[in-house]
Structure 1
């Protein structure tokens, strides 16, 4: 696990080396164990290494005798099988690392090599034979890779702060990116908060000619979650168990250092720990966190029960309110851009604790997106009935109902109030990250007129209308919320603590099995809706009854009650940055602030995303 950086420019060698050195220094936390630089005319690559595999001989950059050079961030779980293939073709290896496997596989097969990699990765290759730079990002988007054009220069990095370190000044804020963030609480795909800095997408590769800057971006893998036909003769539960056990095993054995697991009181992390134990992996560390005042939502007892059943070396954090708020500026610096998921600081604190004991921690991201685990999807399963029953209700009354109903059905009412029957299916105000509507933002927005975020979200629900609404929801979640919120959080918060996070549910063979498996197999037999049915079948005889019967809680920390308390103590919201006022009218924000002070959950979520933009401005833009 590492971080990679690079730039193409006309600088003389000494200045090129200084600039790429500054970029690499900006991501020291991603790889404190080693560093390396590759310089060529007009090009520099560099990397930081967190040594996980082949601790003694895995130094990068690596190079073939005929001038193909690689720097690589990530882990490849099928590298041993690929190495055996390459050795049979006559390739010699000088290390035990997965980096050298990627290098030789590219040498043998060109860019077709990336589709054969099963893992998480961001790769940069300088191919002197064709005089080009090649970048590639893993199929799912587990590892980020940022790209930027500045005048006649091209830059890339695992984190934005490395790109900023090579620029003469800060870029302008992208108003459309900010406008969309205020609705979503995460950055939309392709964009960042900075104008001129973007992202290579999941399953994409970039080729850029060094001589003239000609560049192409192509997609070598694409998620396709349209459902297949249900086959009552197949044992889907057994197939899932085999795939999942193989995924967990691969994520543990591909390490020459101790491996741990983040452990909540839920099914996903419990399943990972149960699988690790069943596979014979002993001496596993587990890590759990809760907050003062969590009350009935405190998951530490459930996590402790799982740890005791499987004999893990268990570590717990009881987070005080002050611990959480004191960590926020560190979280902002780690993200480089506004990020409105309130659980980020908790994951950062948990990662710091874990890094005292292990270099690798497994986590449960991806389970809900692949296996249909969100309770709001149960509403989708009965969407037609809801729309038939309430479609005649005037939209203002539906909007009122959305504020009064406490269940996930509120999002359907809200969508119908804004877009009429069918709006939820089309993605209008239905997306999992959606927090503030375009109309609500207009009341406090001081920037220029923007394209409605509503249009952006609707475009994510791009499957044909005849496709099951559950598949529409899953496809949209998988390519947006999963990548830009959950996986971005997992990468940034763990790497800020020099910790690698691995996500077995996003093991590529398991993802591809889910893609080809009908929805009925993942939610129960036809006519039923059990969230994550195949996972529930897997854990039914493995996890304690208390965990099996516990309600789904997400990340149940008392962050929003803490936030409301601080708002009341301050008699409202008090901005901390100057730049904030260029974009947000404090007067126009007051209705949301007033509701947040009264513990209105939706208002607290809305204001939290705005407050994190404010903190980001104080760190990066003032």
Structure 2
């Protein structure tokens, strides 16, 4: 089963044609489901209620689980965990470069805090919000990971969530979470950069967001989503060589099929997976992009 979006049809982010070719290659039954903005708007209230606690993710899983139920499926397999296991995300390359560039600067983090206070006003002139924190957050792996993965940085929250969440709640939450220390503790005893990032991805993005979202989005339609790649034994067997020249990669996994995949699949560059929430929200009052979606989600949860 493949989920496609009308906004991407015929474009580089449309995975439907390739998925249909693979299904034909292996002679499997295949269902294509297209979702448009009108479907998103029609199911928005149910999606937000089912979400249980705020998340900017899970929309794709919600709709593919809905489609799975419609064709009579009760269980679905997910590839969740593959990018964490095989270093597939861009974060595995971007964060080490960031730390390599800024981590050697003596007192870089402290200097970066002063620099951010000077640069932050430039956001009103179009400077990307995170740019002001490059030096402050680029010196250590945990902080650089937060800079790369966070939708909003800690210093932005009071402004971005004004009218949605009380400033006192934001400040208390940040103090209780102690995010920098928590991110550091997650990987401080790991030396290899790729393994540091794998620990961060699995402990934060995968466990706290992807797995939780897969659970609620699947259960919203009575579909059990199983994640065979999120397996401690499998990870233990592969982690020793993670990120090395002899480490397992997605290419190795793709080549493991008894009947080889078509060369067009094996040689295809990684394109990522996108859900056009940005496009769907632009026609409404939620604001642009994922930040607008985050505000909509928070507003729904506290209403």
* TM-score bracket relative to the smaller structure: 0.7 to 0.9
1:504 to partner: Cα distance: 1.5
- Tell me what 2:60 maps to: 346
2:203 to 479, 501, 512: 479
SS in 1 for 2:284: helix
Unaligned 5+ residue runs, structure 1?
1-286, 568-572, 574-592, 597-603
How far is 1:484 from its partner?
Answer: 1.9
Q: How do residues 401-420 of structure 1 correspond to structure 2 at under 5 angstroms?
A: 415-419=133-137
List aligned pairs for 1:284-323, cutoff 5 A: 287-294=1-8, 295-323=11-39
Verify the 8 A CA contact 1:347 1:494 in the aligned structure 2. Answer: yes
| Deviation digits for residues 83-107 of structure 1 (CA, Å, limit 9, x no counterpart) | xxxxxxxxxxxxxxxxxxxxxxxxx
Deviation per CA, 1:523-552: give whole Å up to 9, x if none: x359xxx96454355369722233333343
Aligned residues: 283
Task: Give CA deviations for 1:41-62 in whole Å, capped at 9, x if unaligned.
Answer: xxxxxxxxxxxxxxxxxxxxxx
Unaligned runs of 5+ in 2: none
The answer for the alignment partner of 2:174 in structure 1 is: 452
Give me the TM-score of the superposition, normalised by structure 1: 0.41
Q: 1:367 to 1:466 in 2, by over 3 A?
A: closer
Residue 317 of structure 1 aligns to a residue whose secondary structure is: strand
Q: Which residue of 2 aligns with 1:582?
A: none
What do residues 239-272 of structure 1 show as CA deviations (whole Å, max 9, x unaligned)?
xxxxxxxxxxxxxxxxxxxxxxxxxxxxxxxxxx
Does structure 1 retain, via aligned residues, the 8 Å contact 2:95–2:148? no
Higher helix residue share: 2
Highest RCO, 1 vs 2 (Cα 8 Å, sep ≥ 6): 2
2:13·2:274 contact (CA, 8 Å) conserved in 1? Answer: yes
1:550 pairs with 263, 268, 275, which one? Answer: 268
* CA displacement at 1:486 relative to structure 2: 0.9
- CA distance, structure 1, for counterparts of residue 64 and residue 237 of structure 2: 31
Distance 1:415 1:372, change over 3 A: farther
| Alpha-carbon shift at residue 559 of structure 1 (Å) | 2.0
Mark the CA change 1:539 to 1:418 in structure 2 (over 3 Å): closer, same or farther: farther
- The alignment partner of 2:31 has SS state of strand
Residue 472 of structure 1: how far off its partner (Å): 2.0
Structural mapping, 1:489-568, within 5 Å: 489-515=213-239, 517-521=240-244, 524-525=245-246, 532=250, 534-538=252-256, 542-567=260-285
Distance in 1 separating the partners of 2:47 and 2:197: 29
Q: Normalized against structure 2, the TM-score is what?
A: 0.79
**Are the aligned partners of 2:65 and 2:217 in contact in 1 as well (CA < 8 Å)?**
yes
* Partners of 1:348 and 1:388 in 2: CA distance: 40
> How far did residue 606 of structure 1 move?
1.9
Per residue, is there more strand in 1 or in 2? 1
Deviation at 1:447, TM superposition (A): 3.7
Provide the rounded CA distance (Å) in 2 between the counterparts of 1:386 and 1:442.
30
Q: CA deviation at 1:379?
A: 2.1
Tell me: CA distance 1:470–1:404, structure 2 relative to 1, closer, same or farther (3 Å). farther
Q: After superposition, where does 1:194-233 map in structure 2 within 5 Å?
A: none
Q: Could you say if the C-alpha distance between residues 466 and 367 of structure 1 is closer, same or farther in structure 2, counting changes exceeding 3 Å? A: closer
